Structure formats: structure tokens, C-alpha cells
Copies of this chain bind each other. A is one copy, B any other.
């Protein structure tokens, strides 16, 4: 069969300086070759835009490279007996509408995935961000029954799950959340014990003390920067800080400075640990199974901010970095 497939791809035209701009990206067309033995042709259905893409593109990419990223894709053609046409997989193939794979880096959606559940959740609560929370709370924060958990960027793909998993674990969840009272209302709706809009509180220090006068056992830090510097002073003795992200710092042209962390760490005997979910690669099945179960049972609510059209990927990415999303930011091709 002779066939010609043209893929659209988004290329990093220019390394970001400060906040990414749409003009830093370039939309290109690429003609895909015919499939060899063992290869598959895939079509992206949902693509993910995530905070990590900002620092990692800076570190790992050259100008002209296709943007890094993850998608849910459908198998369109298969020269590989292990994969059936029509099946859905999670791939790490970057910002592309179509791509060819030998199947090695593809993960089939769990066979127990209910038909009624949006497949895009495999990029969010039942995917990498959800697993990040699962291992971050269990293994890094080592959260225990009755503890108080602080999370920032709390309506994001990760933050919103932190609150809900901490509740399932029997913790009290108190939150600092970005930019809007609408988001605070949403957090309360999905079960957070406390939430505030950090953009409108006069003193963050006071807001954190008021929210939990006894302090915090666990701090799931998605933002870093000034919020983290203030929050560290509100940790309880032996508190654990899981450094998951630093979205407040990713777009700085000049690194920001804040008070050194050692003195508060010494007085409180704190633990601060960075972690990346791939560290628990051998336990993803366990994590995904648990997350899928909680979502299906309605114990974890999912919200997605879906942008339509592959052409709008840069806009969706920039909007997510600006905190315009509520829940997981997704692009539907």
C-alpha cells in the first residue's frame, strides 16, 4: 500500500526568554515515510501541556527541535502484531499530530479503562501528574493519618489531585491557590478543608498561620519562590517538603533570590526532597490502578481545561503557565 501521511509538528523556533511567546514556536509539516516491519502509525487525539516543558525545553532542546511532550494517540496502522489498529496508547512523542513508533515506548491504556471515562485523563489524574501526586505524598511527604498538608498551585493538574489524595489518606488539607476566587471556590467544592487566594491576601505569612495555627506537616510545593520561602517558616518540627515544581521561577530571565533555607530547616529538622515520578517507574502499574479506581468510584474528581485544535498548542501552553487553567490543561486535536 502506498500512502502519504503528513504530520503537523510544533517546533521550538527560539529559546524562551522570560515568558514564552507564540512567536517562539513554529508550525511545520513533515511527510512521514512508509511503515517498516514492526512499526506503527499513530494519530494524536489529546496532547498534554505541562509546566515541566518550560525548564526542560531550556535544558534539553536546541532551537529547531520538535517540542517535548506526551499524548494519547490512536493506532491508525500497525505492522506490529503486539498492537491492534484502533487501540489507544500514551506516547512521549512531542507536539505532533501523527508519528511513527516501533511500539517500545508506548503504554496501552489499562484494560479496565471504562468506556465512559475520557481518555485524556491518561495525561492527567490517571497519568503522569496523578502518579506524581501518588508517590509524592506516599514516598516523599510520607503523609500520615491526621496530618496537615499544604499545597500551592492547588488547582493545577497536580495540585488538585494532591488535596484529594491527602483527604483519602485521612489528612487535613490546607491550600494556597493562585489568582482567583473562582479557583478557591472550586477547591472547597472538591473537598479541601481550607483555601485562599494568594493574590488577594495581604500577608501570605498571616494567611498561612490563620489557615493552620499549628503549622504544616507536609508541604507539596509546586511553585517554589517566595511562597516556599514563607511557607518553610510554618512547617512543624520534622516536617517534610516535597519539591515537585517551581512554576513561579520557570520564566525568570534572571534567577530570583530569597532567604537561605538552612536556618529554618535546622530549627525544625525539616526534610526537603526533590522528586521526579520516573523514580518509581517500576510501581506505575500499582499507582495507575489505585488512581483509576478512585476516579471511577468518584472519590477523586477530575477537571480538565480543554483547548480545541492542534494549532492552539502554544496558546494552551502559555495559558497554563499563566495559571489560566482549572485542572489539567489538555489540547484536543
Contact = CB atoms under 8 A, between A and B. Distances in A.
Interface of A: 55, 59, 221, 224-225, 228-229, 243, 245-246, 249-250, 255-263, 265-276, 279
A261 B268 CA distance: 18
By CB atoms of chain B within 10 A, which of A221, A228, A250, A262 has the most?
A: A262
Contact of A263 (B249, B257, B266, B271): B249
Given A257-B257, A268-B274, A272-B272, A262 B221 contact: yes
Nearest to A254: B259
A266 B260 contact: no
Contacts of A229: 260
A276 B271 CA distance: 12
A255 to B, nearest CB: 5
Contacts of A273: 270-273
A272 B232 CA distance: 13
Contact of A55 (B228, B261, B263, B279): B263
Nearest to A275: B269
A259 B262 contact: no
Nearest to A237: B276
6 contacts: A245-B266, A249-B262, A255-B259, A256-B259, A257-B258, A273-B273
